[in-house]
Chains A and B, each alone.
Chain A
């Protein structure tokens, strides 16, 4: 039964398998050794140190192995070894080399590997910096690493239970029983791989997943330090490193999330950077709790208050990271999410549930064991103190996370509701307004707090100066909000409130940085981060409140509508518009003209050329002209396309265009239309209206003879500007045979033929064709986002703020 297969490259896979096993064993060994080191710490210092050294060696072995896995898998993908299932499924020969790395994160094996890799690198940093907390933090980190490594094992226990999934699986092992693998030279038939999902062939997809996974990895460190502190029962030494790691985590995770937004904005057709999609929410929620935990930790550092809530928030953050993995990787979200993730089946489902259970039990055990001895302060904090309001802000962030989680988790808890009440709960029909209507209040409160809290002092504040400063900044903010609100026509009162609070936060943080901190870079972290956050909120507000669909189709609706429906139809956004080649169509303040397509041999995509022109209404002079190239992967066989938008960037707005459908090179063929008097026939560049039959035949090509019956169909040709001319094709019966004489309208290239008269229906069968090229069209959507750059700038400023704080805290 042993077939000798020809043409396989087995050594990278075998090496990879070896690394997978050693990475698991190394992590397990390290966790055990560190645990022993903690156990023997008090009783036997010498032994404890030996255990610690072994733990270190184990972790180094683990980290080296995971790097080995990375290179083995990279070798397989880069050399197109399609005998490996992973390479076959996620890459192809045509894949451009810059996207090779993207293959790592299309499949879940590669994603888990990347996650483990980041963890191990950060783990090495913790190992060399944690000092007295090293044994405990590293025991936790190694334990998590061992758990993560099980995701890559791919071991079978019996025929049905599979633990993990290895990226080094051979194609023939994955698809056992497929007839092709019975021939030893099967490799001769496997010439190419499945290829990478076109949506991932985008530069954002090269950097967004690794940054996001780095963000996920960083949340492990605050978790490990918190558990270590609880384990040790000592609540001092963990504070500084946890603040540093939380700052780093907030910066990286925040960047990762917004890079996802940038990707959605630039390559997906959501028409935006944030759609409250479950997958996006799942990564946002841990960031919210992390930021909340960071703030309560700062409170604890300054005042010794809020320790318990800090532990809860930071432990919860890590659990939520795993919960988000559970949501996005197991296909639970199924019918509610847009993102293209694989459902890995029930094995991964239970595997992740077990991991979540283990981490949850660990967290709860650590908390309950120390619950009674956790330091608490009996006295009350003053209402004028900074810690009081920071605590409130953190709770608001937590509640925001709770709300987002409940709605996002509908597919998780709806089976229970169905079981109890029989109601099959679905997400809100209008998801965007559901979240926006609730989260706008969170945004208002958080912006107000970040405008005002910095002026308060820890423990006790003198009201007089604070009120004066609030008054000044609030006054400036009110003027600013008034101006922006008037210019941007923001009339909904909730959003006016948000506008004021974000302006307040912007003004207050700038004022604080300049007037109070005297722009000393070292201390600027918090005010810069809060300034960035406020700018982000303002950017979100303006860009989404005034988002404009430029391609709004206002042409008449051609299907039957009763009166009520018309009201509804008027409300409906008819967002697609049809552009025939070389026919300008007004869109917002622009006119758009489709100019054909272009392809290049080195690029699999088709580019559609769309010219935009902005004409001054008074002088008729062209003020601006530019061309956009929305592109698409076109599947010629099935005539469908996966399109990505093209965007014209201005400093204060983006014009965003993408193609939904197209027709090119329409052949010159007659098409049949059965029409009654008054009916229209829609063509490439205009339409024909059938005015009726006419017995007066004046066509020079027709010479009347005795006994003939002759009639013409009068067709008026309209283009978008009006009547262009008449076509009068002739139909006559001569000698019992019917004959047709075509008529052509040269200027428009339209030819019509009266094929038949259908007397019983009182209708005519008319055949029409139009010169090729004139029938080419694209269906496109164009959107205008004002001040979108404020969103990106806000994120960048916020992240810079995180890093300034981090640098400041590292230099101590």
Chain B
């Protein structure tokens, strides 16, 4: 066997190891209910803004505190707390992807991404995660 082959094999082996460990980094899409089984662990939840419930953002009180209610795909409604500004156009969003964890009955959100219908096109928007 050539030296090059050995080195390439070693590199590939290392890469495979890295890629395997990298899979543990990957998150999953959950519902509020399934996410609440592991409180404090971060997941992705896809849901919709529940317009029947109040949104709260008062920058005078706290510019980094925005709460709203979201309904997930299985219909569960949960209060969502986002440590950041209210994302623009959230009222118009038709879908929200939320990153965060459940704790104390509320979903603590570290990042929001919305799908907004524009008349003839869709636009995605993200609000960067404010929690690390």
Interface residues of A (CB under 8 A from B): 89, 194, 197, 269-271, 275, 331, 334-335, 337-343, 380-381, 383, 388, 391-392, 395-396, 399, 402-403, 406-407, 410, 423-430, 434, 438, 553, 555, 557-559, 562, 565, 568-569, 571-578, 638, 640-642, 660-661, 663, 682-684, 777, 779
Q: A430-B129, A430-B132, A660-B85 are in contact. Are A424 and B28 (CB under 8 A)?
A: yes
Selected from B88, B124, B132, the residue in CB contact (under 8 A) with A339 is B124
CA–CA, A27 and B121, complex, Å: 31
User: Across the interface, do B88 and A641 meet the contact criterion of CB distance under 8 Å?
Assistant: yes
Residues of A within 8 A of B84 (CB): 575-576
CA–CA, A438 and B30, complex, Å: 26
CB distance from A656 to the nearest CB of B (A): 14
Instruction: Return the CB mask of B1-29 against A: 1 if under 8 Å, else 0.
Output: 01110011001100100110010011111
- Can you list 23 A-B contacts (CB < 8 A)? A89-B120, A194-B119, A270-B128, A335-B115, A338-B124, A338-B125, A340-B124, A342-B122, A402-B15, A410-B26, A424-B29, A426-B44, A429-B111, A438-B18, A559-B62, A575-B130, A578-B63, A638-B89, A660-B63, A661-B86, A663-B59, A682-B61, A779-B85
Q: A429-B44, A572-B83, A575-B130 are in contact. Are A392 and B18 (CB under 8 A)?
A: no
User: Across the interface, do B60 and A682 meet the contact criterion of CB distance under 8 Å?
Assistant: yes
Q: Which of B50-89 contact A (CB under 8 A)?
A: 58-65, 83-86, 88-89
B33 at the interface (CB under 8 A from A): no
CB distance from A553 to the nearest CB of B (A): 6
Residues of B within 8 A of A403 (CB): 15, 18-19, 22
User: Across the interface, do B65 and A559 meet the contact criterion of CB distance under 8 Å?
Assistant: yes
Residues of A within 8 A of B119 (CB): 194
User: Across the interface, do B27 and A426 meet the contact criterion of CB distance under 8 Å?
Assistant: yes
Residues of B within 8 A of A331 (CB): 122
User: Across the interface, do A429 and B125 meet the contact criterion of CB distance under 8 Å?
Assistant: no
Selected from A275, A407, A557, A640, the residue in CB contact (under 8 A) with B89 is A640
User: Across the interface, do A642 and B88 meet the contact criterion of CB distance under 8 Å?
Assistant: yes
Selected from B18, B28, B108, the residue in CB contact (under 8 A) with A423 is B28
Selected from A335, A339, A423, A660, the residue in CB contact (under 8 A) with B97 is A335
User: Across the interface, do B27 and A406 meet the contact criterion of CB distance under 8 Å?
Assistant: no
User: Across the interface, do A640 and B88 meet the contact criterion of CB distance under 8 Å?
Assistant: yes
User: Across the interface, do A434 and B25 meet the contact criterion of CB distance under 8 Å?
Assistant: yes
In this complex, the member of B15, B19, B61, B121 whose beta carbon has the largest number of chain A beta carbons within 10 angstroms is B121
Residues of A within 8 A of B88 (CB): 640-642
Residues of B within 8 A of A89 (CB): 120-121
CA–CA, A340 and B121, complex, Å: 10
- Contacts A340-B123, A429-B111 known; 10 new A-B pairs at CB < 8 A: A338-B124, A338-B125, A403-B19, A403-B22, A424-B30, A425-B26, A558-B61, A576-B59, A577-B63, A682-B61
Instruction: Give the residue name and chain of the B residue nearest to A559 (CB).
Output: B65
CB distance from B43 to the nearest CB of A (A): 7
B46 at the interface (CB under 8 A from A): yes
In this complex, the member of A553, A562, A684 whose beta carbon has the largest number of chain B beta carbons within 10 angstroms is A553
User: Across the interface, do A343 and B122 meet the contact criterion of CB distance under 8 Å?
Assistant: yes
User: Across the interface, do B3 and A388 meet the contact criterion of CB distance under 8 Å?
Assistant: yes
CA–CA, A194 and B128, complex, Å: 28
CB distance from A469 to the nearest CB of B (A): 24
Selected from A395, A427, A574, the residue in CB contact (under 8 A) with B27 is A427
User: Across the interface, do A429 and B64 meet the contact criterion of CB distance under 8 Å?
Assistant: no
Q: A410-B26, A660-B85 are in contact. Are A576 and B110 (CB under 8 A)?
A: no
Residues of B within 8 A of A569 (CB): 83
CA–CA, A290 and B84, complex, Å: 40
The 4 A-B pairs with the shortest beta carbon distances in the complex, nearest first, are: A426-B44, A424-B29, A640-B88, A576-B63
Instruction: Return the CB mask of B98-124 against A: 1 if under 8 Å, else 0.
Output: 010001100010110101000111111
User: Across the interface, do A380 and B131 meet the contact criterion of CB distance under 8 Å?
Assistant: no
Interface residues of B (CB under 8 A from A): 2-4, 7-8, 11-12, 15, 18-19, 22, 25-30, 42-44, 46, 58-65, 83-86, 88-89, 95, 97, 99, 103-104, 108, 110-111, 113, 115, 119-126, 128-132
Residues of A within 8 A of B103 (CB): 565
User: Across the interface, do A572 and B18 meet the contact criterion of CB distance under 8 Å?
Assistant: no
User: Across the interface, do A557 and B26 meet the contact criterion of CB distance under 8 Å?
Assistant: no
Residues of B within 8 A of A578 (CB): 59-60, 63
CB distance from B82 to the nearest CB of A (A): 11
Q: A335-B46, A402-B15, A429-B42 are in contact. Are A683 and B22 (CB under 8 A)?
A: no
CA–CA, A573 and B83, complex, Å: 8
Residues of B within 8 A of A565 (CB): 103-104
CA–CA, A337 and B120, complex, Å: 19
Residues of B within 8 A of A640 (CB): 88-89
Q: A380-B4, A578-B59, A684-B60 are in contact. Are A426 and B29 (CB under 8 A)?
A: yes
CA–CA, A342 and B117, complex, Å: 11
User: Across the interface, do B43 and A338 meet the contact criterion of CB distance under 8 Å?
Assistant: no
Q: A194-B119, A380-B4, A426-B43 are in contact. Are A396 and B22 (CB under 8 A)?
A: no
CB distance from A375 to the nearest CB of B (A): 16
Residues of B within 8 A of A557 (CB): 62, 65
CB distance from A637 to the nearest CB of B (A): 12
CB distance from A153 to the nearest CB of B (A): 21
CA–CA, A427 and B25, complex, Å: 8
In this complex, the member of A271, A380, A429 whose beta carbon has the largest number of chain B beta carbons within 10 angstroms is A429
User: Across the interface, do A426 and B26 meet the contact criterion of CB distance under 8 Å?
Assistant: yes
Residues of A within 8 A of B43 (CB): 426, 429
Residues of A within 8 A of B123 (CB): 197, 340
CB distance from A299 to the nearest CB of B (A): 11
Q: A338-B126, A391-B4 are in contact. Are A571 and B28 (CB under 8 A)?
A: no
Instruction: Give the residue name and chain of the B residue nearest to A632 (CB).
Output: B88
Instruction: Give the residue name and chain of the B residue nearest to A339 (CB).
Output: B124
In this complex, the member of A194, A337, A426, A572 whose beta carbon has the largest number of chain B beta carbons within 10 angstroms is A426
CB distance from B125 to the nearest CB of A (A): 7
Q: A335-B113, A338-B125, A343-B122 are in contact. Are A383 and B3 (CB under 8 A)?
A: yes
CB distance from A296 to the nearest CB of B (A): 11
User: Across the interface, do A380 and B22 meet the contact criterion of CB distance under 8 Å?
Assistant: no
Instruction: Give the residue name and chain of the A residue nearest to B89 (CB).
Output: A640
CB distance from B53 to the nearest CB of A (A): 17
User: Across the interface, do B29 and A574 meet the contact criterion of CB distance under 8 Å?
Assistant: no
